[in-house]
């Protein structure tokens, strides 16, 4: 697995360094902002339960633990082994969850999912990789399945893209079959967009 992708997306070493410096660098376990965003994310899901779900960028597994209660099977991935070690420990009592180290978009799973969640991950990719990821999400989403995006919107100098650019890129693909836009919500510092694949 290449550590530094030629496309300009952030490499795995960037994230390992962040987690080595601080086990919870974005305060997932303590932040009122994160707690509110998690509640809004779960509330946006149209179904009470999903058979097969995919969470990209699970980090240390704080939201994974909550999402798992709504899933029969949940595949959660991250690029950082350091973060995944914490996530596996946090969710050790949840047999429906499996964690894998994968680099998106190239290592997108070959499975089909009825829920795909991209939360705080798209802006780490350069635009060519984001477009690739968009196509893979659409292709691996089951008919009638849901694709949910949630991203921080303020500008971050280190990141190739902004949250708004990520969401607008996915919105540009909606309206044409098979992807439909169902819901858009704008909070002070993040936005949420829900899509569905035509049944």
Cα separation, 91 vs 93, in Å, equals 5
Q: What is the structure's pLDDT at 7?
A: 66
Per residue in 179-193, pLDDT tens?
Answer: 999 999 999 999 999
Q: What tens digit of pLDDT does each residue of 61-112 get? A: 999 999 999 999 999 999 999 999 999 999 999 999 999 999 999 999 999 9
Give the pLDDT confidence score for residue 3 in this predicted structure: 47
Out of 14-18, 30-34, 146-150, 158-162, pick the least confident.
14-18
- What pLDDT score does 2 carry? 42
- Provide the pLDDT for residue 17: 84
Show the domains of the chain with their CATH numbers: 12-197 (3.40.50.150)
Residue 176 has pLDDT above 80, yes or no: no
């Amino acid at each position: 697995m290449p550590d530094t992708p030629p496309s300009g997306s952030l490499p795995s070493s960037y994230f390992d360094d962040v987690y080595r410096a601080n086990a919870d660098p974005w305060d997932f376990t303590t932040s009122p902002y994160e707690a509110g965003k998690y509640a809004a994310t779960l509330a946006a899901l149209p179904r009470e339960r999903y058979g097969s779900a995919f969470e990209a960028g699970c980090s240390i597994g704080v939201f994974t633990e909550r999402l798992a209660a709504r899933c029969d099977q949940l595949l959660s991935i991250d690029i950082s082994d350091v973060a995944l070690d914490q996530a596996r420990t946090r969710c050790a009592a949840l047999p429906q969850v499996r964690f894998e180290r994968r680099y998106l978009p190239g290592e997108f799973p070959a499975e089909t999912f009825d829920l795909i969640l991209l939360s705080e991950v798209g802006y780490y990719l350069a635009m060519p990789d984001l477009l690739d990821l968009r196509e893979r999400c659409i292709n691996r989403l089951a008919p009638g399945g849901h694709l949910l995006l949630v991203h921080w919107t303020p500008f971050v100098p280190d990141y190739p893209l902004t949250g708004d650019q990520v969401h607008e890129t996915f919105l540009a693909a909606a309206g044409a079959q098979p992807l439909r836009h169902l819901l858009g919500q704008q909070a002070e510092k993040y936005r949420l967009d829900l899509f569905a694949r035509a049944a």
